[in-house]
Amino acid sequence: MTTESIRIDKQLLERFENGINPRNPNESAIPARIIGYGEISTIFEILEPSLAGFACKRLPVFKTEEEMQAYELLFHEYNRVLSEDIGIQVPGYASARVIPLKGNMVVYCIQERLLPGVIGNRLIHTLDNDSVIVLFRAVLAEMAKVWEFNASQDRVRLGLDAQISNWALSCDTVPGVLEEGGTDLVYIDTSTPLMRVRGVEQLDTELFLRCAPSFLVWFIRLFFLKDVVGRYYDFHLAVVDLLANLFKEGRADLIEPLISEANRFFACRATGFGASPVTCREVRSYYREDAMIWRLYQGLRRLDRFLCTRLLRQHYCYILPGAIKR
């Protein structure tokens, strides 16, 4: 499915946005179900016929229509480059702008919804370990396409958040055993369009700071933002991030065998990408630091919501996830 084949009911999205209760989204005017969270977004299945079969990612971080337009253009170009220039499958996609009655302006990124059972973080719990290794090799092969593209020319560089929950099988049913060379994947996290043109980041990274507590913005900008974004342009760090995420997904037992697979892949396929071998110590250290940062960050966001809504009596347009096991 291509973006042109998706027709979005924008009026329904406007009614949905204006009826959202960010503190209790399950009590919103138009029924919807939350199917996932990003760091600055919430992914909904909106329970209306015209949006059946789509995942709607809500990004309430925009202050002007110019910001929305720039983001949408980049979102569509990122999807195009991934699918047409690099050869990575992405779901059918579209986007829509909504200017609500209160709060920030919102862009909804709409994707053809995949069945939960074919998404990577579910597969690592349902497949046998040999099939998980086949899945991991397939993810590495898809990742390598991005870095091969980056190395093939000096104009455009793409970044990739390759954690396992961002990949899915292209088929609707999950085979009992995955076969080597026969695992076609789809990349689903295209709403963070990391793209540099002649070294200049095209995504306005200040958008990431919009939902941060106001008293933390300067600190995150100074000490974390550049590193967090930069890791997704580095093949080695992107793989470390993928491996470390297995702690959160409850499959720490997979990390050592998959490190061996990653290092074998680096030696055979990624010698030109500057990817040094991964160590268990590095993955554990990366995970501990990352988990600590995000636990603190989410705790401070809840404090910020309390100050905004209960003390200052202001509208808070962000939806915060519940407790996340890390």
In a domain, residue 242? The reply is no
In a domain, residue 228? The reply is no
CB of 294 within 8 A of CB of 324? yes
CA distance 26 to 22: 9
In a domain, residue 96? The reply is yes
**Structurally, how many domains does the chain consist of?**
1
CA distance 236 to 234: 6
In a domain, residue 244? The reply is no
In a domain, residue 270? The reply is no
Predicted confidence at residue 210, as pLDDT, reads 83
In a domain, residue 31? The reply is yes
Confidence (pTM) = 0.91
In a domain, residue 253? The reply is no
In a domain, residue 316? The reply is no
Six-digit token string for 88: 């990575």
Predicted confidence at residue 255, as pLDDT, reads 97
Q: What is the pLDDT along the chain (326 residues), one digit of tens a residue?
A: 444 457 888 999 999 999 998 888 888 889 999 998 877 789 999 999 989 889 999 999 999 999 999 999 999 999 999 999 999 999 999 999 999 998 899 999 999 999 999 999 999 999 999 999 999 999 999 999 999 999 999 999 999 999 999 999 998 777 777 888 778 999 999 999 999 999 999 999 888 888 877 777 777 777 677 788 899 999 999 999 999 999 999 999 999 999 999 999 999 876 677 778 999 999 999 999 888 877 877 888 888 888 888 888 888 888 888 655 55
Q: In CATH, what number is assigned to the domain containing residue 105?
A: 3.30.200
Domain residues for the domain of 47 are 3-112
How many CB atoms are located within 10 Å of the residue 207 CB? 18
Own/partner long-range contacts of 166-172 (Cβ < 8 Å, ≥24 apart): 166/120, 167/119, 167/120, 167/135, 167/139, 167/142, 168/114, 168/118, 168/119, 168/120, 169/118, 169/123, 170/89, 171/118, 172/115, 172/118
